[in-house]
Amino acid sequence: MTAVSRRWPRWLYSAALYLLAPLIWWRVWREHALTNLRRERLGLTPRLPAGVPRLWLHCASVGEVQAARPLIEALLARYPRHCLVVTTMTATGAERVQALIATRREAGDSGRLRHYFVPLDFPGAANRFIARLQPSLAIFFETEIWPNLLAACRRFDVPTAVVNGRLSPRAFRGYRRLRPLMAAALGQLDWLAAKSRGDAERFRELGMPTTRIDVVGSLKYDLTPDDASSEASKRLCTRLGSRPVWVAGSTHPGEDQLVLEAHARLRQHYANALLILVPRHPQRFDAVAELCLERGMALARRSLGEWPDGRTAVYLGDTMGELLTFYGAADLAFVGGSLVPVGGHNLLEPAAMGVPVLTGPELANFADIAETLRQGGALVEVASSAALADTLVTLFLDEAERHRLAEAGLAVVAANRGALAGTLDGLHRLLRGK
């Protein structure tokens, strides 16, 4: 591929971005966090102190930040002289990074973890961002392939890697329509750490050179609940008492209704059963609260400091960064985005907390993880709201099966850890080559 043939897809892509600039800017204008200036979207990030080497990790949103937490901690421990800058696209992701920063500050960290918003992928913004940040290494998490940012890294001689690289069949079909652009972008990458052979093959078909791909496994298996989450779960569990408690985490529009229908059926058998309902997106918290009240379900809201009493049917987890705590305090966990065509969310979070995992059939984004849990006898799958209700009733009656599922989930997580070590080794090779 000649230099011109590599560049023309990115030129067309950039032209399309400029044409859509008003719409793009309006969209990101809403994704605002009080801790950050909007000008960061244009690559105008604060300059860090000279002489301090820095690593850059980009995560799209809150889910990716949570999944990347083991990597964040490991990078800070392995490179004590470096500052780690984590960028996000969304405000919810920014809040999760700020929570990590606050936790480290309480532990005496000297400010080596920073957060900025990622710049919009315009050529000028991308070049300004890399020129100001001057990272020793750029790391993109999962499927964050930004052509102009990758080109800017190449221009400033910054090695690049995609870690926990995943590409679902549905995403692959969409990217395949843009294969010239994707091939040119992937050709800029120095290394891709794929989480499965299927993901590696899909990246290869899009144009990623085979010699730069390694299959290292999923970093999600390296999630280890921290002491704070575990202690918070214990306190919450004690406060909730001996009543049946289940969590529906990361739910989406249309799915909340199905979950509430299942809970109403469950309460016909267990009148004191409590649902901890955690919508995926914070902008939906109020709407979901109204939905609960419309259904006649007594509600307590976490954000208001309310505690569920014996009459409460739903405890709304309308806060950020507490999903692991809620999972750990429950008897059963349903992972959302799976009863509606979203593709599912992280099934390993409740498994790592020692809680039986329930899911719907829509698992395109986590097909490999679902299969691993399935083979380990650690996944309960339901096809509908009615099936979810029946399964909840059955499992609340069978304490031995709940215990078996919990132990099986912990065993699957423990058996598949190791991607973090392989990822760190690959990143170290890139840094050493600088």
Report the pLDDT value the prediction gives residue 111, as an integer from 0 to 100.
82
Cα–Cα distance between 249 and 247 in angstroms, integer?
A: 6
Pull the structure tokens for residue 74: 């490991």
Nearest to 265 by CA among 335, 307, 299, 313: 313
Backbone angles phi, psi at 295, to 5 degrees: -80, 0
Evaluate whether residue 148 is within a structural domain: yes
Co-location of 151 and 262 in the same domain? no
Co-location of 273 and 375 in the same domain? yes
Evaluate whether residue 129 is within a structural domain: yes
State whether residue 397 is helix, strand or coil: helix
Nearest to 118 by CA among 92, 98, 89: 89
Evaluate whether residue 210 is within a structural domain: yes
Co-location of 182 and 232 in the same domain? no
Co-location of 406 and 303 in the same domain? yes
Burial of 163 (0-12, 13-18, 19+ CB in 10 A): buried
State whether residue 149 is helix, strand or coil: helix
Report the pLDDT value the prediction gives residue 5, as an integer from 0 to 100.
56
State whether residue 88 is helix, strand or coil: strand
Cβ count within 10 A of residue 80: 8
Q: Are 92 and 250 in contact (CB under 8 A)?
A: no
Report the pLDDT value the prediction gives residue 2, as an integer from 0 to 100.
52
Q: Which structural domain range is residue 303 located in?
A: 227-414
Pull the structure tokens for residue 377: 């006898």
- Beta pairing class for 274-279 and 357-359: unpaired
Q: Are 129 and 149 in contact (CB under 8 A)?
A: yes
- Distance in angstroms between the alpha carbons of the first and the last residue of the chain: 26
Q: Are 159 and 139 in contact (CB under 8 A)?
A: no
Nearest to 165 by CA among 197, 135, 136, 138: 197
Co-location of 410 and 422 in the same domain? no
- Beta pairing class for 245-251 and 213-215: unpaired
Nearest to 198 by CA among 365, 381, 414: 365
Report the pLDDT value the prediction gives residue 434, as an integer from 0 to 100.
61
CATH of residue 200's domain is 3.40.50.11720
Co-location of 39 and 99 in the same domain? yes
Co-location of 209 and 237 in the same domain? no
Co-location of 148 and 119 in the same domain? yes
Tell me which DSSP letter residue 20 carries: T
Tell me which DSSP letter residue 417 carries: -
- pLDDT per residue rounded down to tens, the chain (434 residues): 555 456 788 989 999 999 989 988 888 887 888 888 889 999 999 988 888 999 999 999 988 998 999 999 999 999 999 999 999 999 989 999 998 998 888 777 778 999 999 999 999 999 999 999 999 999 999 989 999 999 999 999 999 999 999 998 889 999 999 999 999 999 999 999 999 999 999 999 999 999 999 999 999 999 888 777 889 999 999 999 999 999 999 999 999 999 999 999 999 999 999 999 999 988 999 999 999 999 999 999 999 999 999 999 999 999 988 999 999 999 999 999 999 999 999 999 999 999 999 999 999 888 889 999 999 999 999 999 999 999 999 999 999 999 999 999 999 999 999 999 999 999 999 998 66
Co-location of 41 and 181 in the same domain? yes
Evaluate whether residue 187 is within a structural domain: yes
Co-location of 102 and 238 in the same domain? no
Co-location of 317 and 282 in the same domain? yes
Residue of 31, 40, 64, 144 marked active site: 64
Q: Are 177 and 205 in contact (CB under 8 A)?
A: no
Evaluate whether residue 222 is within a structural domain: no
Report the pLDDT value the prediction gives residue 47, as an integer from 0 to 100.
87
Angle at 318 between CA 266 and CA 234, to 5 degrees: 70
Co-location of 209 and 233 in the same domain? no
CATH of residue 397's domain is 3.40.50.2000
Evaluate whether residue 301 is within a structural domain: yes
Evaluate whether residue 27 is within a structural domain: yes
Q: Is 95 marked active-site?
A: no
Nearest 10 degrees: Cα torsion 4, 5, 11, 17: -160
Report the pLDDT value the prediction gives residue 63, as an integer from 0 to 100.
86
Evaluate whether residue 181 is within a structural domain: yes
Residue 240 half-sphere exposure, CB side, CA atoms within 13 Å? 29
Query: Which residue's structure tokens are 């790391």?
Result: 139
How many domains would you assign to the chain?
Answer: 2
